[in-house]
Structure 1
Amino acid sequence: MLANLFIKNYALIDELNVSFTDGFTCITGETGAGKSILLGGLSLVLGKRADLSSLRDKASKCIIEAEFDIDRYGLKSFFGDNDIDYEKRTIIRREIQPSGKSRAFINDSPVTLNILTQLGDSLIDVHSQHQTLRLADNDFQMKVIDALADNGKLLYTYAEELDAYRKTSRALQELLEFQKQAIKEHDYNSFLLEELESAPLKVGIQEELEERYEQLNNVENILELLSRGYQLLNDEQVGVVNLLAELKQVSGRLSNFGNQYAELNQRIDSVFIEVDDIAAELQQLQGDTEANPRELEETNAKLQQLYDLQKKHVAADVSELLEIKETLSEKVQQTENLESDIQKKQELLSAQEKELDGLAASLSARRRKVLPSLKKQLQGSLSALGMPSATFKIDIYPSEGFKDNGKDSLSFLFSANKGTDYGELKKVASGGELSRIMLTIKSILAKYEHLPTMMFDEIDTGVSGEISNKMGAIMHAMSNTMQVFSITHLPQVASKGDHHFKVFKVEEDGTTRTKMKKLSADERVTELAGMLGGKALTDSAMAHARELLNF
């Protein structure tokens, strides 16, 4: 419910602060007084884009602030999802700077226009003559039918399933596209992988092979050096081992003369054992080392294979080749598993399609069930509004593919008079007829779902006095369950309001300003009399006004 509206520095409004309550509120005023300005200011806090031309004083900022009672609107999740503090009394504020920059706030939290628009759509439904064009929109017509059919929960379930179905469909399409490309690359990737798998790839293998190659390629030099080393240790005359043996004998005799000589003997003994062991190992290596042309060739071939692969794959070492091998293996494996993955996705898509078909069929059946009731209510209400011959032909038939709201197409045809052909609303209904049809539809919707505050902007234009009286009665009846505003120029409608505001212009200090005030009972009589008879307030006009107000 709109509880308060504050407007500053907007068009002809210098500053306006007005409070509203529930029920049916009528707003009147002479043409050009600023009723549309009031609505324009309100539209800014509902998310409409700002225009610098709307600033009254170009050097000051424009402020529009609206306070709403949202306790019954079920909007806590919206506030939570958008990280905004939830307040039962929520304040929406819009500021337009002289520079053209615009800022929006919900409960002092900065928000984007998109978020503001989403919230605004849940708070106020502004209905003007222009909005009657929505009547020709099949989506809007289907929403009306769904409201009567109480399809809300079913549509929510359908929407979730449709989202999952579309995601699966996209994933399947991506797999099929990938398969086309992968098949082209599969043979080449397999060939590269086989090359890498045939190579001796393991961490450190290149260093091992290079070391072994050096040994095999220099075997004669190695044997010569081993032989020379062994000779130096075991020569009968001057060999190190024989000399150390003699030294050991000397130190052995010295060890009898004290601990320091005994320790020296132990050290010499250790050296003798180590050198003797080295001599034995040199002899062993000499015996084990031999020329092996075949192994040399094989080792060289393996090294060359590694070098070629590194050059081919632009790899710095074997570790990078191993990474490339793993990547190729995954690609080849993925390609080989694609058929299985595609089949699984196709089976999932088929199951989701079956589920969606069931939900769509349920939606369709529930819609068909309420069509007679909808036509009866529409025709009955329009008859009371001066259209006794108005009839509708509403049909639902299957459509191809899944839509956002099911698998139904809708034919919503209208005839205003007996004997005339049925046609689409936008082609066969006049502006006045469209206004009455829209009012009727909104009044029917109000019975089946909780609508936000409804604001009718001169919906009664082009309507006669008696019909406008009935339109006013319908809007007043709607206000029993929701807050309703009507910007009107007809006294019959204005008289039905629980509250009556007048918009008027005044000239102050050579400047024209738009103001708004709530009328007292006596002021309402005067205002309605003026609407009935003009500026000259005749006795008959005053009497007629009191009659309209049941005074």
Structure 2
Amino acid sequence: MWGVLTHLHIRNYALIDSLSIELRPGFSVITGETGSGKSILLGALSLILGKRADTSVLRDAGSKCIVEVTCKLKGWPVGDFFEEHDLDYDDHCTIRREISPAGKSRAFINDTPVNLQQLRELGSLLVDIHSQHETLNLKDNSFQLAVLDDFAGLTSRVEAFTAQFKEWRTLHREMANLREHLAREREQRDFLDFQLNELEEAQLTPGEEEQLQSEIALLEHAEEIKLRLVQCTEMLIDSDENVAATLRNGLQQLASVRSHDKGIDELFERLQSASIEIKDIGEELARQEQLIEVNPSRLQQLQERLDMLNGLMHKHQASNVAALLDKMDAIAQKLEGEQSREEKLELLKKQIAEREEDLQAQSAELTVKRKEAAPQLAQKLCVLLERMELKNAEMSIAIESLSKRTSHGDDWVQLLLRTNKGQELMPIEQVASGGELSRVMLAIKSVNTGQQFAPTLILDEIDNGVSGRVADAMAQLLAEMGGQRQMICITHLPQIAAKGQWHYRVSKRDEADRTHTFVEELNEEARLHEVAAMLSGSDTTEAALQNARMLMNAN
């Protein structure tokens, strides 16, 4: 006999101040009066499995809540999880969850901090909690499909299919977004092409506008400039009494006396230099005048060019020609990007087609496997239902093709049931009573115990709606399941409690001004009295004790 959960410690949770219990391998039962706090244990355990929580779970709002379990991992394939998340692995593992008074949640695996997703992942590998309301999941077709896949050993294949389906859907969304983007770009393409052609045809040159402005200013004043240059040239070297001639005359006057005085000689030299410079300036002015052209057609051409540049700068909100060139590059890149996106769209189409082909093949294989497993599962469930006093029960599993593929394939699954002779097979949600749903759910749990499963199964009152011989049969089945995995069953039925190898009683007591929940493991004598009390009520009679003894000895 083996088990996975070996110890549970809870502090400051709901009605629990502090409790620690040893958990045993095999089949354990938890009993207690209604409202005693049995579901509180499940709530605490759910924190270990990654359920979200807030400060409402704190018994003492000023202290943190701690839930801790010790697990025995030897023999269970969870090593990959520890390796993937870089966690220390040991045959014994401690999982702890803390909720602070401020509402902050912290989780630990072997004292290493982990996030809730990691906690959920490890929890799903170790523990399967079946709460009271989960029996209603039998009415849900997706749950029914999961049951069939679990029985057929397809769970890992379906998970892989789901992952690829999500990738395929992501590619589809990406393609849709890309098409929408391209559609907007195509609407603008003609305009962008026009803009780019217009800018390219302008043959823009950086700094061109300054050069144009300078040349235009020169041409606009060409006549005046030529006139002034001519006048200045005549005044310096061409008129009868020009400056150059006057300086030459002055030089002649000083030439005869320069040798008599050093100062005069220096002045002569200076005057000679001035004469040379004046002559040179006059000649340069004449040459400059010849270079300047009065050209109205050239002026008009330049003004038109500048007007065109100004118009482009205004249109594109550019401050100069360099900015226009940047705009032209941006438009060209945008058009090139559109071409790149067109190529990416074609690549996406190819990838989607390949994924669809792959998904189609996988989905077809899943359908074949499901159709092979469906009658086998139905037959096994019928056998178990007959054991649980549904003598005339018959089950069938209908598999139909969906018009649209889902993340689980192309199949729609429907559990069909009839419980009486002469009835037609009908969807289980239309024909099964509450007690019958409980028995079907237990049968499913029993069948899938032989498949891939979490080593610890916790059942919260799966016996709702049953009694008498049905309760006996369910108790026997639960005991058998406890031989294959660690089973913990919360129950109100004495028949099931009597079959437990280990028995825990939950009770609620008032101490001072507060109510407390306690959990104790019962010895044989205490078990006897607890089962007797479940049979007879508050007054435990000798007859009840005798009946309890008979139930317990029937193990």
Q: Same fold (TM over 0.5)?
A: yes
Match of 1:425 in 2: 428
- Tell which deviates more after alignment, 511-520 or 299-308: 511-520
Q: Give percent identity, aligned residues only.
A: 35
CA distance in structure 2 between the aligned counterparts of 1:85 and 1:202, rounded to whole angstroms: 68
1:343-492 to 2 correspondences below 5 Å: 343-451=346-454, 453-492=456-495
SS of 1:17's partner is strand
Change (3 A) 1:411 1:432: same
Change (3 A) 1:60 1:339: closer
- Tell which deviates more after alignment, 101-110 or 224-233: 224-233
* 2:151 equivalent among 148, 158, 179: 148
1:51-90 to 2 correspondences below 5 Å: 56-57=59-60, 60-61=62-63, 63-69=65-71, 71=73, 72=76, 74=78, 77=81, 89-90=93-94
Q: Which residue identity lines up with residue 194 of structure 1 in the other structure?
A: N
Match of 2:107 in 1: 105
Gaps spanning 5+ residues in structure 1: where? 247-272
CA distance in structure 1 between the aligned counterparts of 2:208 and 2:359, rounded to whole angstroms: 58
Change (3 A) 1:73 1:476: farther
* 2:10 equivalent among 7, 27, 49: 7
Change (3 A) 1:435 1:224: same
Change (3 A) 1:550 1:201: same
Deviations 1:171-227 (Å, cap 9, x if unpaired)? 222233234433332333333223222223232222333333334434446656777
SS of 1:517's partner is strand
What's the CA shift for 1:436? 1.1
CA distance in structure 1 between the aligned counterparts of 2:98 and 2:374, rounded to whole angstroms: 43
Match of 2:329 in 1: 326
Match status 1:504 vs 2:507: yes
Deviations 1:377-401 (Å, cap 9, x if unpaired)? 1111111111122112212122122
Match of 1:211 in 2: 214
* 1:187 equivalent among 180, 190, 196: 190
Change (3 A) 1:384 1:295: same
- Tell which deviates more after alignment, 231-240 or 64-73: 231-240
Match of 1:541 in 2: 545
CA distance in structure 2 between the aligned counterparts of 1:276 and 1:65, rounded to whole angstroms: 109
CA distance in structure 2 between the aligned counterparts of 1:491 and 1:9, rounded to whole angstroms: 31
What's the CA shift for 1:305? 1.3
Deviations 1:260-299 (Å, cap 9, x if unpaired)? xxxxxxxxxxxxx999999998777665543343333222
Q: Is the 8 A contact 2:70 2:95 kept in 1?
A: yes
CA distance in structure 1 between the aligned counterparts of 2:279 and 2:431, rounded to whole angstroms: 119
Q: Is the 8 A contact 1:50 1:102 kept in 2?
A: no
* 1:517 equivalent among 504, 517, 520: 520
Deviations 1:396-444 (Å, cap 9, x if unpaired)? 1221222011111223211112211222222211111111111111122
Match of 1:172 in 2: 175
Alignment TM-score, normalising by the size of structure 1 = 0.81
Deviations 1:113-146 (Å, cap 9, x if unpaired)? 6776666555432213321111111111111221
Q: Is the 8 A contact 2:166 2:407 kept in 1?
A: no
* 1:93 equivalent among 92, 97, 120: 97
Change (3 A) 1:74 1:280: farther
Alignment TM-score, normalising by the size of structure 2 = 0.80
Q: Is the 8 A contact 1:50 1:96 kept in 2?
A: no
CA distance in structure 2 between the aligned counterparts of 1:481 and 1:206, rounded to whole angstroms: 90
C-alpha RMSD of matched pairs (Å): 4.0
CA distance in structure 2 between the aligned counterparts of 1:26 and 1:91, rounded to whole angstroms: 23
Match of 1:250 in 2: none
Match status 1:28 vs 2:31: yes
SS of 2:423's partner is coil
Q: Which residue identity lines up with residue 106 of structure 1 in the other structure?
A: F
CA distance in structure 2 between the aligned counterparts of 1:476 and 1:275, rounded to whole angstroms: 128
Deviations 1:331-374 (Å, cap 9, x if unpaired)? 44555676665454434433322222111111111111111211
Change (3 A) 1:55 1:150: closer
Change (3 A) 1:338 1:105: closer
Q: Which residue identity lines up with residue 95 of structure 2 in the other structure?
A: I
Change (3 A) 1:56 1:354: closer
Change (3 A) 1:281 1:527: farther
CA distance in structure 2 between the aligned counterparts of 1:41 and 1:157, rounded to whole angstroms: 32
SS of 1:175's partner is helix
Number of residue equivalences: 523
Match of 1:259 in 2: none
Q: Which residue identity lines up with residue 142 of structure 2 in the other structure?
A: D
CA distance in structure 2 between the aligned counterparts of 1:187 and 1:75, rounded to whole angstroms: 61
SS of 1:30's partner is coil
Change (3 A) 1:358 1:277: farther
SS of 1:489's partner is coil
Gaps spanning 5+ residues in structure 2: where? 252-275
